[in-house]
Structure 1
């Protein structure tokens, strides 16, 4: 028997009892800690379990039917029933309450909406809801999906909903054997442009790129759904896997892992991991830093900036020329990057704007801009202020966004000089290399002929071409370099000054 099967069997005793073969509880009905209820298509099961298995801590939870090795939702994660029997009751006030044998309440649904004929139902999505008996599941008055555990199920949403006023987040376990709330959370930062973030307390650990409507990035996973409607909902969710049961989990280390159940192998397979290591580390390169990854994460600076400290790249970067908001300044384009952190204080979105460059130039505090085509709205501009933090090159070329960073006029002038020098110098060097190659072959052929003639006793009186002779009229050189003008001098090499032509 494999270790996976042994692990699976070891966890079975954590789950009690037998199914009562219904997916609905009516008022004044209950289940005790030896019973479970099962969704209509037998996809999910709700009941009691203990964790750790050797303890007397009892929890009410939901798991995939037949796969009780991982619980996807826990009602009383921070208030377990200890050393007592436990019962879930649907009381006459239309609320679910969890009590011990003496009637002490350990958890309640706390629904404040009055329902005439309420029922509690476990759906095939894994959602446990309270609703009116003669209405559909979409007309719930309370749902477990609004109070996530550490697991995101298909159809479950993270983010803000006007119906409840909640901003739903995953909260990590304290450990693998302790389901109580840890200090890590994963959800949608709705202040500014929406972006998925993993927090430790109030501190950002790492984040995804900002999105709006269908999202900014040219690459979006087909498992993800994004909704941006500031009046009603700002949310993120995942689709159901075609391969079977699936879930995304915020683990106790801070990684978000997307699992798919492989029935043939009877195990959860890791399909995708979102982690804070390498360039995803929020504070890695500091303000105005730019992270790239080949084998390891490496910090550089945005164009027009240089490292603030040679010893510590996390200190970020500073401008090479602080003289900005003057005539002649402009922008440098950086392609295939994750856009900077886009919280409310540092970003602004304006729709219906065609000339984003002018929009940014007209505000001296604008540091950078990006362009987008918003679905069903048209062109829009995103502008950043205060700081440009957590910018990185994306792994796959063509899947990132373009960022236009504001630089001083001197930086643009340097770029213009380079753009003039390269097109002029490169052709000259190419011609010189070509002439040198021809000279080499001529010299070699002449020497070969001389050697053959000498071997035959014949004397050659023709002058040899010297390898170092590559003449060009001085008048041509003077005209090309503006009579060796200082303004045309670009440096100095081992053989003297070097001029651009």
Structure 2
């Protein structure tokens, strides 16, 4: 404390002690009164009360009453009061000296007036009265003390400025902080959570103005704090979000303009509708959506990640939902500001050498950051022209408007799916996306991605799903219902999203094959070292399918040749003896094998499939469980490609979808080449019988 209360009490005891009482009568020098005692007990008591009265006036700094109060005091008290008056002058000098130095707090019955300030212990922040820009009115605010450019980070009375220089800030007996104007009217107040005996107001080094109990040893036990009521700036350590226990929302809102710090219509906070996500509003309308937290950052800001300067934190539990950040180096000065004039949120860093603020990052970044610019079920790609396109399986709701670059009405399903035909539904994987608006979503933090897929497939209203947390290969389940809003594609980073579609060839076109060609096998997040093995399986399967198709066509030609009664013609084919074949194949070495036909591997595949052991076809190096499901799917699709009837065989575009999605597959029938082989053998038997 700056004002010395204890010395005054000591003075009182000293003056009233029998050995130290002194007085000056009629201008004489003060003589020792230790030799005389007060004869009248009432006189002594009166002096005690009179000195107490004046000491209390000194404590309250009510010098006007002290100097001009008149009392019918006894002459014996005159000398003591003169000594007190000398201490009054000393105390007043100490008061003005202390208010001009780094005083960081005021206690009960003290006040902060215009022209005086509180300075945090390390001299980083300062609290006082100021006039913004060209404004004539006064505001109580906090600004940086340690930099030459006056930068206000918090304003108490944003909506109600005060006039004149007579306003004061004090804390009353209830522990409430009050800003009183020149008329004695409370212009602004902050109520403490409970009443304590020794409340004080303190400006911390973080820029947080707090009310706390002076006797409380817990440095973070606050009765009230300014960090719960932000203005236009988010400082390190501040929380953006909600206290669910009290219903308190901490939202940052811009100044109306540089001369008026009252709240504008541009704000930033966390929406609790559906799965919590960061948003910016213009009035009541969403202006920008940062998205939900994915464990590392926000889905709409892939560049937001841990770095040598900042640390980011998001907390979501039954008590609180908030975002905060901190600085790895305390010597760095940084802040996030809502700029009303250009409708952006800017992160600044103070550059000491340049003695100026520099922008580190800002949002929105481009047109695709504008909320839902492409409408429902649309995707914004900033590098394309135009930037908006419908998602696969969707088409513009109003094509004429879409062609005129009016995308507000968005897209709708090219063909409505029937819930009874869920087996014909699948999911297409999209990479590097901004996850859709989670206002209409469902979350389960403990489910795997496969469980999430199955649950979404069961619900006809579920249009997409993804992991909630991307760390450790991904975990949790997030499902979207209804239209998908505010999607964009990033050039780097972003989200893996699985969007529901119906497997129809008419859905796909050449421009969409890039999106659909992301081959996806293990939905639990397989390791990269298995990717080459998966590619090997796909290429090998494709080669086998091609060989089967070639063999099948050759068989059809042979059948046609027989039906045309051209048995008499001999095929001009070369003949090789066994020695030549053995030499050419290096003893039938597997290293010289180029492929196999219907009597080899493919025949074994069908036999193993019928015997429910298709994985016996895999090489031992692929026995890891992370690729078994994908390999099984490849075998399944390969058998579908060699069906007897064309209507049973999938087209190539459908094969791509089958490989890229998780849709259920029809059971394969016996391959066509086997049926043809049986016919050939039966025909040969009947011909033999006629011989």
TM-score by length of 1: 0.75
Higher relative contact order (CA 8 A, sep 6+): 1
5 Å-filtered alignment, 1:76-87, equals 76-87=157-168
1:302 aligns with 2:396: no
Question: Which residue number corresponds to residue 454 of structure 1?
Answer: none
| Cα distance in 2 for residues equivalent to 1:279 and 1:220 | 17
CA 1:280/1:171 → structure 2, altered by over 3 Å: closer, same or farther?
same
5 Å-filtered alignment, 1:125-164, equals 125-134=206-215, 135-162=217-244, 164=246
CA 1:229/1:199 → structure 2, altered by over 3 Å: closer, same or farther?
same
The count of residues paired between Structure 1 and Structure 2 equals: 414
Question: Which residue number corresponds to residue 20 of structure 2?
Answer: none
Question: Which residue number corresponds to residue 61 of structure 1?
Answer: 141
CA 1:322/1:19 → structure 2, altered by over 3 Å: closer, same or farther?
farther
CA contact (8 A) 1:212 1:228 kept: no
CA contact (8 A) 2:143 2:154 kept: yes
- Is the partner of 1:358 in helix, strand or coil? helix
CA 1:27/1:337 → structure 2, altered by over 3 Å: closer, same or farther?
same
Offset, 1:281: 0.7
Question: Which runs of no fewer than 5 residues in structure 2 stay unpaired?
Answer: 1-97, 518-537, 548-642, 653-691
5 Å-filtered alignment, 1:484-495, equals none
Question: Which residue number corresponds to residue 334 of structure 2?
Answer: 246
Question: Which residue number corresponds to residue 322 of structure 2?
Answer: 235
Question: Which residue number corresponds to residue 22 of structure 1?
Answer: 103
Output one character per residue of 1:80-135: Cα deviation in whole Å (capped at 9) or x when no partner.
Answer: 00245321112222111111222111111122411222111100000000111133
Range moving further from structure 2, 243-252 or 145-154: 243-252
Output one character per residue of 1:297-347: Cα deviation in whole Å (capped at 9) or x when no partner.
Answer: 70011111122223222211111111243131111111010100011xx11
Offset, 1:136: 2.7
Question: Which residue number corresponds to residue 291 of structure 1?
Answer: 380
Question: Which residue number corresponds to residue 272 of structure 2?
Answer: 190
| Cα distance in 1 for residues equivalent to 2:251 and 2:357 | 23
| Cα distance in 2 for residues equivalent to 1:281 and 1:238 | 24
Offset, 1:276: 6.3
1:33 aligns with 2:114: yes
CA contact (8 A) 2:315 2:321 kept: yes
Output one character per residue of 1:194-243: Cα deviation in whole Å (capped at 9) or x when no partner.
Answer: 21110112210111121155556576422353333331211111212636
Q: Which one has a bigger Cα radius of gyration? A: 2
- Is the partner of 2:408 in helix, strand or coil? helix
| Cα distance in 2 for residues equivalent to 1:168 and 1:303 | 39
| Cα distance in 2 for residues equivalent to 1:85 and 1:414 | 74
| Cα distance in 1 for residues equivalent to 2:111 and 2:475 | 56
| Cα distance in 2 for residues equivalent to 1:202 and 1:27 | 41
Question: Which residue number corresponds to residue 255 of structure 2?
Answer: 173
- CA RMSD in angstroms comes to 3.4
| Cα distance in 2 for residues equivalent to 1:279 and 1:229 | 28
Question: Which residue number corresponds to residue 455 of structure 2?
Answer: 359
CA 1:410/1:404 → structure 2, altered by over 3 Å: closer, same or farther?
same
TM-score by length of 2: 0.55
Offset, 1:163: 5.5
CA contact (8 A) 2:467 2:474 kept: no
Question: Which residue number corresponds to residue 80 of structure 2?
Answer: none
Range moving further from structure 2, 368-377 or 301-310: 368-377
Question: Which runs of no fewer than 5 residues in structure 1 stay unpaired?
Answer: 1-16, 429-481, 491-501
More helix per residue: 2
| Cα distance in 2 for residues equivalent to 1:115 and 1:385 | 51
